[in-house]
Amino acid sequence: MDVTQVFGYFAALLIGVVLGLIGGGGSILTVPVFVYLFYINPVTATAYSLFVVGTSALFGTVKNIQKKLVDFKTGFVFAIPAFVAVYLTRKYLVPAIPESIFTINDFEVTKDIAIMVFFAIIMLLASMSMIKNRKSNEEKPSKVVAYNYPLILIEGAVVGVLTGLVGAGGGFLIIPALVLLAKLPMKKAVATSLLIIAIKSLIGFIGDVQNLNIDWQFLLSFTVLSVIGIFIGTYLSNFIDGKKLKKGFGYFVLIMAFYILYKEFVS
């Protein structure tokens, strides 16, 4: 095991710690870790990320169920179009993308470059969502949840496709949708988003199992470290205010997004 891989396994633990501390966002680092520290190609890296994201979100969901924060009806209404979209994206759309997309002068835009650039764009959007530090004041929840079914179905499908392409959870898109379209209070929206992320990520990964050769020993060891990190982060959250860390982590994600763009276009 070389030094880069040691950093990679340390990053797996750190991803979990971040998830435990701020409740989300950490998994967006899994794809860069797989690509730049373990030298895994982006298609496989996004598949592995789905498994790590889904498993991590599942642990978070169990914790939120115990706190009675998960709105199951809203979660499943949103999750159904999302997991159908992510499964179809991983099973059919990603394999259908040509290895060479187009060429500008001597620069060839390959499938791997396109995936990483698109991922960097998603990271930029996620970082802005964290930096904005949306006020989490609790709105007065209505006793009857008002569903905007057409928009929920569309939003769920769009998030599913994005998740399928880049292997990220998409909580920064799901949470506002649950607040605006299902009228959930912020705490319930955050908790319910983890249920949606767990379902769609793990079902999306099933589409990859049918297309890729999975290194289960590596993937499970990485995931176990991330889960251990979640427990460490959850413990540390008793002493550290995760909300204060979220903005700083947002800037770190922003820097990472520009680093990916630099790696793909310049170096």
d(CA 216, CA 181): 38
What the block records as the tokens of 191 is 């908790």
Rg (CA), the chain: 18
**Gap between the Cα atoms of 71 and 3, Å rounded:** 44
CB of 260 closer than 8 Å to CB of 119: yes
Cβ-proximal residues to 68 (8 Å cutoff; 6+ apart), any chain: none
Q: Which of 105, 116, 110 is nearest to 44 (CA)?
A: 116
Can you give the length of the chain in residues?
Answer: 267
pLDDT 10s digit of each residue in the chain, 267 long?
788 889 999 999 988 888 777 766 666 888 899 999 999 999 899 999 989 988 988 888 888 898 888 999 888 888 899 889 988 998 899 889 999 988 888 888 899 999 899 889 988 888 888 788 655 444 455 555 566 778 888 888 888 898 888 877 677 778 888 888 778 888 888 888 888 888 888 888 988 887 889 999 999 999 999 989 888 887 887 787 767 777 888 888 899 899 999 988 886
3-state percent breakdown (helix, strand, coil) of the chain, nearest 5: 75, 5, 20
DSSP conformational letter for 92: I
